Chains A and B, each alone.
Chain A
Amino acid sequence: GAGVSQSPRYKVAKRGQDVALRCDPISGHVSLFWYQQALGQGPEFLTYFQNEAQLDKSGLPSDRFFAERPEGSVSTLKIQRTQQEDSAVYLCASSLSPPHMYMNTEAFFGQGTRLTVV
């Protein structure tokens, strides 16, 4: 596709409900990132995939958060038993190559999924 696509754009969940957020990266992009952005704040790193391998999940807030990218393209971020503090915009980004100090590591961001837990 032309860019990183995320769905749904908006999601309202009742507290305790499970949600799944989808990210379609740019075709052929090796690296995929998930970030969480609270209102009025900068994005915070959640997890990183290189192809299908999840190399870093240190930013996931709790074991209720789970991300996967089984075929190295589309990724899903799942949040179980949602709580009000999970309300945020969830951003996905992809980049062509594995990040490297000497290479352009420009990441292309999707428009995000705004999750509201009520």
Chain B
Amino acid sequence: SQQGEEDPQALSIQEGENATMNCSYKTSINNLQWYRQNSGRGLVHLILIRSNEREKHSGRLRVTLDTSKKSSSLLITASRAADTASYFCATDVEAYKYIFGTGTRLKVLA
């Protein structure tokens, strides 16, 4: 299967700290999306960034995209215990087909 890679695979931080996770992918893309998945639940869409964008913000989330390096990062500022979840990036290999990474498991300690 073709999947992007995220690092770190797991991240544990204290509440209030910032969390940064990275995603690398293999092929050219039109869009890259970040999703959150709480244990035993479905995926929640966080943010979409297009290939002609370099940075995007949404609340405490900041996403960057570097198409020359085929990489993206997700920064969560002032983390909260409720941010504990797995985070996935997804890239479109075709207009409708998104390829997900292996995910970063974030644990925020209260």
Total interface residues on B, using CB and 8 Å? 27
* Contact assessment for B41 and A48 in the assembled complex, using a CB-CB cutoff below 8 Å: no
* Contact assessment for A45 and B98 in the assembled complex, using a CB-CB cutoff below 8 Å: yes
From residue B25, how far is it (CB to closest CB) to chain A in Å? 12
User: How distant is the Cα of A35 from the Cα of B41 in the complex, in angstroms?
Assistant: 14
B contacts with A: majority SS: strand
* Contact assessment for B42 and A105 in the assembled complex, using a CB-CB cutoff below 8 Å: no
Contacts of A66-114 to chain B: CB distance below 8 A = 91, 93, 98-101, 104-112
* Contact assessment for B95 and A101 in the assembled complex, using a CB-CB cutoff below 8 Å: yes
User: How distant is the Cα of A45 from the Cα of B92 in the complex, in angstroms?
Assistant: 11
Task: Report B's interface with A, CB cutoff 8 A.
Answer: 1, 3, 30-31, 33, 35, 40-45, 48, 50, 88, 90, 92, 94-103
Task: Report A's interface with B, CB cutoff 8 A.
Answer: 4, 31, 33, 35, 41-45, 48, 50, 55-56, 59, 91, 93, 98-101, 104-112
